[in-house]
Amino acid sequence: MKLGIMAVFAIVAGVVSAQNINKFVISDEAAKKTLIKNEISADTAAKITQACIDWATKNNMAVSVFILSPTGQIVHAHRMDGQVPINTETALLKAQSVLYTRDSTHARANQVANNVALQLRWSKLPVFPTSGGLPIIVDGQMIGAIGVGGGSRDEDCAYQALTTVVGPQPPLAPNLPAAAPGPAK
């Protein structure tokens, strides 16, 4: 009996959970044209971008933000005043890296830290292992990617914006302890 009730609860929770994604992805009509349903909507992307800008402003930062669809198309982009070209370019690279790895750019940065062999192998890949890029996850599905560049806390900006607009996200990658200094030369 207990297992039966738990099974019904799991099915109901799954249905409720699956309905939540519809608030953040393109409409059924748009999906018929694109043949992809779980793609971030322009409205959601604009709200995430604005939440990031609001957070950056509150924290005395200027940032550039790119939100990409799962297929790599720009859904929304914004450059705050005071950003130089490299800030905008790195924001885009971070979002693109997320699409390639399906993981945060901070997690990838942790993987290559202090690993010269891996750094050399990855140098040929379209991966920019610097924090500030996160997958946008809803109901266990990646509906897009965000890349933030130009600020001192890019990843925090992206994470706060995502959790504000779409809800809980996977935990952030940990910060690695500072590397011990090498031998004197």
Show the tokens assigned to 67. Answer: 């939100």
Please answer whether residues 87 and 110 qualify as being in contact, where contact means their C-beta atoms are separated by less than 8 angstroms: no
Angstrom distance (rounded) from CA 165 to CA 49: 10
* Tens-digit pLDDT profile for residues 18-55: 448 989 999 989 888 887 889 999 999 999 999 999 99
Q: Which residues contact 173 (CB under 8 A, 6 or more apart)?
A: 104, 106, 107, 109, 110, 131
Return mean pLDDT, the chain.
Answer: 87
Domains of the chain with CATH codes: 22-165 (3.30.450.150)
Least confident of 34-48, 75-89, 117-131, 161-175: 117-131
Please answer whether residues 29 and 141 qualify as being in contact, where contact means their C-beta atoms are separated by less than 8 angstroms: no
